[in-house]
């Protein structure tokens, strides 16, 4: 795919690739992606307020990316055409909506943003090609991300011959990663969602030292796990309710698994065998 044909959101993310960003700079980058449709028109002061950093931090961020200052970065963002895709927040908030309705609409916006990123299939295909050959395949998700990891592992086991789920931390975490590497694993899929457990980054460091390729699905391309990942696939979480919602990360996991099916020899036969077995055992009531 020609880089110029990628979705505007993906082109915006590419501005930040290959740069070592400080935590404050990662917040700025994340803010620009979140407000992609408005970013081309916001001042450095407005960006600083949205990101919760100082205005000089925004200027330093632009210079880190190789621009003379924020105006030059903003000009580059305008050239990406991101303002052609209005954000949901620009349409105005309907005060007649209930809190649950606003939460659902915010989640729909997250899915729409993910759809834009998936216009470029390259990152998902690269991730699938790293994960599919791994025997065993490790799937890691701790605390808030445990449900996402478990869901992915459940379906992946229907087409992949050896899936190992790690959804609890503790002193056995390093053992299980090292044992899998010793058994022949070549890759690990990580779900990293806020709040990020400190032991998650420790686990990814252990995986890298063990020679495993790391693919991470995270709520942001600037999550702490990004620096420890070979491929990072972003999908935003909803923050409108007391507890975050993760429809977009779940969807991205299924999209990734769909791509992996094309890379796993015998995947369709394995799935068909499961269906025959399930029918013979009366596993499902339908």
Tell me if the bond preceding 195 is cis, omega within 30° of 0: yes
**Which is more confident, 13 or 284?**
284
Quick one: CA torsion of 237, 220, 80, 104, rounded to 10 degrees? 0
pLDDT given for residue 7 in this prediction: 62
- Residue 229: the pLDDT is 97
Over 80: is that where the pLDDT of 9 sits?
Answer: no
Each residue's pLDDT tens digit, 162-220: 999 999 999 999 999 999 999 999 999 999 999 899 999 999 999 999 999 999 999 98
The pLDDT, as a whole number, for residue 40 is: 84
Local confidence band at 93 (pLDDT 50, 70, 90 cut-offs): low
Is the bond preceding residue 175 a cis peptide, omega within 30 degrees?
no
Residue with tokens 């908030």: 93
Per-residue confidence band for 87, with pLDDT thresholds at 50, 70 and 90: very low
Q: What percent of the chain is modeled with pLDDT above 90?
A: 65
pLDDT bin (cut points 50, 70, 90) of residue 91 is very low
Find out whether 206 and 177 touch, Cβ atoms under 8 Å: yes
CA distance 257 to 262: 9
pLDDT of residue 37: 75
134: pLDDT strictly greater than 90:
yes
Question: Span 249-255, mean pLDDT?
Answer: 98
Please write the tens of the pLDDT for every residue from 54-70.
999 999 999 999 999 99
Sheet holding 163-166, edge to edge: 163-166, 137-141, 187-192, 213-218, 231-234
Q: Find, among 64, 58, 65, 67, the residue nearest to 39 by Cα.
A: 58
- Report the pLDDT value the prediction gives residue 166, as an integer from 0 to 100: 98
The pLDDT score that the predictor gives to residue 34 is 79
Spatial distance between the Cα atoms of 42 and 19, rounded to a whole number of angstroms: 22
Is pLDDT larger for residue 102 or for residue 260?
Answer: 260
Arithmetic mean of pLDDT, 41-51: 89
Query: pLDDT at position 95, please?
Result: 67
Mean pLDDT of the chain: 89
């Amino acid at each position: 795919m020609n880089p110029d044909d990628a979705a505007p959101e993906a082109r915006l993310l590419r501005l930040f690739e290959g740069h070592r960003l400080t935590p404050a700079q990662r917040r700025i980058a994340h803010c620009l992606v979140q407000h992609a449709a408005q970013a081309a028109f916001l001042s450095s002061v407005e960006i600083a307020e949205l990101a919760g950093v100082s205005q000089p931090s925004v200027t330093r961020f632009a210079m880190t990316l190789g621009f003379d200052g924020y105006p030059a970065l903003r000009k580059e963002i305008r050239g990406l055409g991101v303002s052609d895709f209005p954000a949901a927040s620009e349409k105005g908030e309907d005060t007649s909506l209930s809190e649950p309705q606003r939460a659902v609409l915010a989640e729909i916006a997250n899915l729409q943003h993910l759809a834009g990123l998936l216009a470029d299939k390259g990152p998902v295909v690269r991730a699938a090609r790293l994960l599919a050959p791994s025997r065993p395949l490790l799937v890691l998700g701790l605390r808030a991300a445990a449900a996402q990891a478990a869901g992915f592992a459940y379906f992946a086991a229907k087409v992949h011959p050896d899936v190992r789920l790690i959804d609890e931390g503790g002193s056995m975490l390093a053992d299980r990663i090292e044992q899998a590497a010793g058994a022949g694993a070549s890759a690990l899929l990580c779900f990293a969602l806020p709040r990020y457990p400190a032991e998650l980054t420790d686990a990814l460091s252990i995986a890298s030292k063990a020679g495993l390729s790391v693919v991470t699905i995270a709520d942001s391309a600037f999550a702490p796990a990004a620096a420890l990942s070979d491929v990072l696939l972003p999908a935003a979480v909803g923050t409108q309710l007391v507890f975050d919602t993760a429809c977009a990360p779940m969807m991205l996991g299924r999209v990734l698994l769909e791509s992996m099916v094309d890379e796993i020899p015998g995947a369709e036969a394995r799935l068909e065998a499961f269906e025959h077995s399930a029918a013979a055992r009366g596993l499902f009531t339908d």
